[in-house]
Structure 1
Amino acid sequence: MTAVDERSSVGIAELIMDLQSVGLRIETVLETSRKGGAGPSDSGMLWIEGVPVTVPPSSVSPYSLRAEDDGQGIYRDGVKVASVSGTKRPRFYDLETADGVPYHQIALLHLDSLASTVVQACNYWGNSDQCGFCGIGLSLAAGATIARKTPEMLAEVAVAARDLDGAVDATLTTGSSVAPDRGALYVARCGQAVKEASGLPVEVQFEPPRSLDVVNEVHAMGIDSVGIHIETFDPAVLERVAPGKFRTGIDTYFRTWERAVSLFGEGRVSTYVILGMGEDPDLTVEMCRRAVDMGVYPFVVPLRPVAGSLMENVPAPAREYTEPIYRKVAGFLEAKGLGADTAVAGCARCQACSSLNLVQQSGGATPCGSGGGPGLLQIGKRPGS
């Protein structure tokens, strides 16, 4: 029996949490990866023991990805700890539109989820409001994408990704706009076109619009789920790393989520919660509880420092810090009956950038109202403190 055979689901969850903290040395070809952008940037995309994962490459990681006769494996200290599969370049990347735009400049396959930033620009970028963790302008500057994708382009690519590479959903995001709808209606029109052409479930992601009636309009277009991302619940951190979002106000996010849940349903509204930016872990856990109680899925992820971003030199948080938070939040989700399966589409469905669903599925959630082992602050103080 190999080390892989002996690994429990709990062990795989622990391994992936480690990898997302310390990264992975790439000693073979990893064909699916991404740099820049507003999503899971600067990451390799792979399946570890059948689990979809994005992992930052690192030349100093104790873990290495090596080629094997029948695939690839992850090794530590010369011992294989997991099998890897599914890292081949998607076939639809080799196609282009009739006017010569390569499909891979329109949308990318994040493992089994088609993803695109439909407007590769943000009113926060390049000024004092720029979000520290974001790289939305970097991939455009590098020529890896185009500035604006049309609904027709995205629909065409979605059909190809479904037919050639087995895409199971589509996630569409956009930079924040100064328009009253904050860009929500355009990304929703793109999502509507993708859904009508491909039949794939679609999530669209946008900032809280000036009027909550915009959320009704998005729902009326047949969109399946929405991501409205606050990034951190700690107001001091939000003001420092995302001043534009800070001015929007945490209460505004909760009001927008409340309207969205009333339309899309519990579990079909999500928000990113990034760990490792100096946040108060107890406050983070309590606010995640509040979000879950209203039917919002807090997609808890470790900071992924993006080369070229304002936070490129901030280290990813250690597993000792992220794991107890995952366990607490997973307990809230379990008690509420929410999980990756209720998300239908989007980041909370994919889960590749987080270990939250792994912890929940492996039985590692801390029961609500229980200490559940070592206390949150016993395990790790906030990063940067």
Structure 2
Amino acid sequence: MRWHELKAELLATGSCRITGADASSYIERSAAGPGAGGSGSVFFSTGGRRIRLSVSPHSPIEIRHLGDGQAIIRHGSAECTGILEQVGLHCPRQAYITITGRCIFSCKYCPVPGTDGRIKTPDEIAAMIAGVRERIDAISLTSGVFESIDDEERRVRAVLKRIGEQEIPVGVSIYPGRDTPDNLYADGVSEVKFNLEAATPTLFDEMCPGLSWDGVIRALDRSVELFGEGHVFSNVIIGLGESDEEMEACIELLTGRGVIPVLRPLTPAAALQSFTRPGRDRLLRTAALHARWLKKAGLDTRTAETMCTLCTGCDIVPGRDRP
């Protein structure tokens, strides 16, 4: 079985149980996104390719830790030898930091509004980065919205000013205001990720009340002008109720604008707890569409220097996972 096929099977479940030697030092816990407030997750890697799975004692997927990071992952008759990776901050080889761990918006798939996350100060974030600097290749910043979109951007920019010019690339993913791309570019950011989240404007309005699909599109278009093709990204969740045809149209829309889509399998949470994760076949079909439209647009995921497309843990990434 090829890696991207095995990864699709694993992502369709999304979790693992850990057996064998103590693996607590390899477990990370998220402050944002669908994993916020959960029991943690691990990164399994083989041949330079990786997957992130949440930890659950009831999962049908087993990762047996042999000690010192050496591990075997088993799912049905499939078995693969690899390693558990140490996390920088949130993911391997990056300091991926959530500045504000709470949000005034209530996107239906996201548990963050229901948590009492705190706001990290610029000094605190600078210290966090300094503490892992020797084992990271990128810095990535994301944030909820505590009071307003503009206030949150100012908070992110204060962090950028505090950490100063870095010898490694810096990526930022926040909800954009009108001038956000220009401001982040002026601050020396290398890459940006502004998220459509849903494959159609109708689904976006349903899933993200109070936010603007058109506003995200405008921010993405301006970002490509500033940062260049291959350095602008947008999350799109697979499994919100869109058809394959609607997902393909969204992929075509983004790649045609020079944006690399980040196609994320739904983790049922918050108001969508009754939803199901997309299955193996759906993930493989979507990955094939993704690869086709990236190639047609001349986009290569291997140019990514920060954030999710560099990590690859949560998604099938053509060019990195899939031939």
Q: What TM-score range do you get, normalising by the shorter chain?
A: 0.7 to 0.9
For 2:235 and 2:264, how far apart are their aligned partners in 1? 7
Once the 2 structures are TM-superposed, how far is the Cα of residue 195 of structure 1 from its aligned partner? 5.2
Which amino acid letter does the alignment assign opposite residue 120 of structure 1? G
Q: CA deviation at 1:226?
A: 0.9
Q: Percent identity?
A: 24
Quick one: which amino acid aligns to residue 201 of structure 1?
P
Q: 1:217 to 1:20 in 2, by over 3 A?
A: same
Q: Is 1:132 the equivalent of 2:108?
A: yes
Q: Is the 8 A contact 2:180 2:219 kept in 1?
A: no
User: Is the counterpart of residue 27 in structure 1 residue 19 in structure 2?
Assistant: yes
Q: Which residue of structure 2 lines up, in the alignment, with residue 194 of structure 1?
A: 163
| 1:277 maps to 2:261 | no
Deviations 1:25-55 (A, max 9, x none): 3224443334553236145221331312211
Q: Identify the range of structure 1 (81-90 vs 314-323) with the bigger mean alpha-carbon deviation.
A: 81-90
Match of 1:156 among 127, 131, 135: 127
Question: What is the CA deviation profile of residues 185-205 of structure 1, one whole-angstrom value per residue up to 9, with x for unaligned ones?
Answer: 321332343352x52311111
Alignment check: 8 A CA contact 1:191 1:203 kept = no
Change (3 A) 1:321 1:182: farther
1:362 paired with 2:313, answer no
Structural RMSD (CA)? 2.5
Q: Equivalent residue for 1:299?
A: 262
Q: Does 1:38 align with 2:35?
A: no
Q: Secondary structure at the match of 1:27?
A: strand
1:321 aligns with 2:282: yes
The 2-side partners of 1:289 and 1:66 are apart by 40
| Pair 1:18-2:15 in alignment | no
Is residue 299–residue 347 contact of structure 1 (8 Å, CA) maintained in 2? yes
Taking the aligned partners of 1:152 and 1:204, their CA distance within structure 2 comes to 18
- CA spacing shift, 1:21–1:302, aligned 2, 3 Å: same
Distance change in 2, residues 1:151/1:234 (3 Å): same
Alpha-carbon distance between aligned partners in 2 of 1:200 and 1:256, rounded to the nearest angstrom? 24
Give the distance between the partners of 1:185 and 1:295, measured in 2 at CA: 27
SS in 1 for 2:294: helix
Aligned partner of residue 156 in structure 2, secondary structure: helix
Moved over 6 A (4+): none
Q: What is the CA–CA distance in structure 2 between the aligned matches of 1:81 and 1:113, rounded to whole Å?
A: 28
Q: Secondary structure at the match of 2:73?
A: strand
Are residue 123 (structure 1) and residue 135 (structure 2) matched? no
CA contact under 8 A between 2:139 and 2:168: conserved in structure 1? yes
**Residues 241-280 of structure 1: pairs in structure 2 closer than 5 A:** 241-245=207-211, 248=212, 250-280=213-243
Shift in CA distance, 156/241, structure 1 to aligned 2, threshold 3 Å: same
Corresponding residue number in structure 2 for 1:105: none
- Which residue in 1 is equivalent to 2:138? 169
Is the CA contact (8 Å cut-off) linking 1:188 and 1:223 kept in structure 2?
A: no
Q: Using the alignment, how far apart are the partners of 1:320 and 1:25 within structure 2? A: 23
CA distance 1:195–1:74, shift in 2 (3 Å): farther
Q: 1:112 to 1:69 in 2, by over 3 A?
A: closer
Corresponding residue for residue 44 of structure 2: 47
| Structure with the larger strand share | 2
Question: Of residues 270, 274, 287 in structure 1, which corresponds to 2:250?
Answer: 287
Deviations 1:105-145 (A, max 9, x none): xxx33122211111122111xxxxx112212246x54xxxx
Cα distance in 2, alignment partners of residues 214 and 80 from structure 1: 46
Once the two structures are superposed, residues 43-91 of structure 1 have per-residue CA deviations (whole angstroms, 9 ceiling, x without a partner) of 52213313122113344543211133672101234x561123134576x
CA contact (8 A) 1:40 1:353 kept: no
Instruction: Tell me by how many angstroms 1:265 deviates.
Output: 0.9
Residue 99 of structure 1 is matched in structure 2 by none
* Number of equivalences: 315
Opposite residue 362 of structure 1, the aligned amino acid is: R
Change (3 A) 1:83 1:118: same
Per the TM alignment, residue 288 of structure 1 is displaced from its structure 2 partner at its CA by: 1.4
Matched residue type, 1:289:
E
Q: Which of residues 225, 235, 239 in structure 1 aligns to 2:191? A: 225
- The 3-state SS of whatever aligns with 1:256 is helix
Q: 1:160 is paired with a residue of what secondary structure? A: helix
- Once the two structures are superposed, residues 277-300 of structure 1 have per-residue CA deviations (whole angstroms, 9 ceiling, x without a partner) of 111221121121111111111100
Q: Identify the residue that residue 306 of structure 2 maps to in structure 1.
A: 345
**Per-residue Cα deviation, 1:221-278 (whole angstroms, up to 9, x for no partner):** 0011111111012233223322123xx1x22221111111111111111111000111
Structure 2 unaligned segments of length 5 or more: list them. Answer: none
Q: Which moved more, 1:30-39 or 1:149-158?
A: 30-39
Contact 2:93 2:138 in 1 (8 A): yes
If the length of structure 1 is used for normalisation, what is the TM-score? 0.74
Q: Flag the structure with larger Rg.
A: 1
- 1:75 is the counterpart of 2:74: yes
Task: Indicate conservation of the 8 Å contact 1:37/1:135, yes or no.
Answer: no
What code does the residue aligned with 2:44 have? W
Match of 2:109, SS? coil
Deviates more, 1:213-222 or 1:169-178: 169-178
Counterpart AA for 1:293 = G
Q: Give, in whole Å, the separation in 2 of the partners of 1:284 and 1:162.
A: 38
